[in-house]
């Protein structure tokens, strides 16, 4: 018996991912099989989808300043107003946000608000004390929300005329 000496077997190349072949039968009556090429992992023949847009840059509300009938409100000092008389309220901010504004009375005081905006009209229908909170919100602002509380003393018409005679009927005082 004779011996056959075989050369050494070369090492196998590393395993590579091959595309998957999926046989799809053709229409009846045809002989043969149609083969579709399906992409294998790592096949980057199509560009990836574009990245999502960046989020909007953060903004700030900053410091609010509130004016009641053109007079700057000083935090903690009560504001005197006559009952059932519309009062102009204006808020300014130092930041670059585009916020929304909400005016509301605390407790059960029936405050009448012209519109929920930076410039509005407030009407106080009952005499006595009322606390109003103005809240500023902006979803992109880093300092949102900001609330500012104001204490109002709502005077009767008679009391208002006694305390502020020059402010009635177009007076300037």
Question: Of the ranges 41-50, 100-109, 114-123, which one carries the lowest mean pLDDT score?
Answer: 41-50
Q: What is the mean pLDDT of residues 62-90?
A: 93
Length of the chain: 173
158 within some domain: yes
Q: 29: alpha, beta or left, given left = phi > 0 and alpha = psi -120 to 50?
A: left
For the cut 90, the answer to whether the pLDDT of residue 116 exceeds it is yes
122 within some domain: yes
Confidence of residue 172 (pLDDT cuts 50, 70, 90): very low
Question: Cα dihedral sign for 34, 38, 40, 44?
Answer: positive
159 within some domain: yes
Asked if 149 and 130 touch (Cβ cutoff 8 Å), the reply is: no
| Mean pLDDT computed over every residue of the chain | 83
pLDDT of residue 167: 60
Asked if 148 and 106 touch (Cβ cutoff 8 Å), the reply is: no
111 within some domain: yes
24 within some domain: no
Q: What is the mean pLDDT of residues 11-20?
A: 66
pLDDT of residue 134: 95
Confidence of residue 55 (pLDDT cuts 50, 70, 90): confident
Give residue 126's domain range: 64-167
pLDDT of residue 12: 74
Helix (H) or strand (E) holding 163: helix 157-163
Structure tokens that stand for 13 in this block: 């190349």
Instruction: Give this prediction's pTM.
Output: 0.64
Asked if 82 and 160 touch (Cβ cutoff 8 Å), the reply is: yes
CATH (domain of 80)? 2.60.40.10
33 within some domain: no
Structure tokens that stand for 110 in this block: 């029936």
pLDDT of residue 162: 86
Asked if 60 and 142 touch (Cβ cutoff 8 Å), the reply is: yes
Domain count of the chain?
1
* Gap between the Cα atoms of 106 and 171, Å rounded: 32
């Amino acid at each position: 018996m004779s011996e056959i000496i075989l050369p050494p077997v070369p090492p196998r190349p590393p395993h590579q991912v091959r595309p998957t072949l999926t046989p799809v039968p053709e229409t009846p009556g045809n002989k043969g099989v149609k083969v579709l090429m399906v992409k294998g992992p790592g096949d980057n023949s199509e560009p990836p989808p574009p990245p999502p847009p960046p989020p909007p840059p953060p903004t700030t509300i900053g410091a609010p300043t509130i004016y009641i009938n053109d007079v700057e409100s000083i935090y903690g000092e009560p504001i005197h107003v006559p009952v059932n008389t519309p009062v102009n309220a204006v808020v300014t901010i130092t930041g670059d946000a585009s916020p929304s504004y909400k005016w509301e009375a605390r407790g059960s005081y029936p405050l009448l608000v012209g519109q929920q905006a930076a410039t509005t009209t407030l009407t106080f229908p009952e005499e006595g004390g009322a606390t109003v909170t103005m809240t500023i919100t902006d979803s992109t602002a880093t300092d949102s929300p900001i609330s500012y509380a104001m204490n109002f003393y709502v005077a009767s018409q008679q009391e208002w005329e006694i305390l502020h005679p020059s402010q009635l009927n177009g007076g300037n005082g």
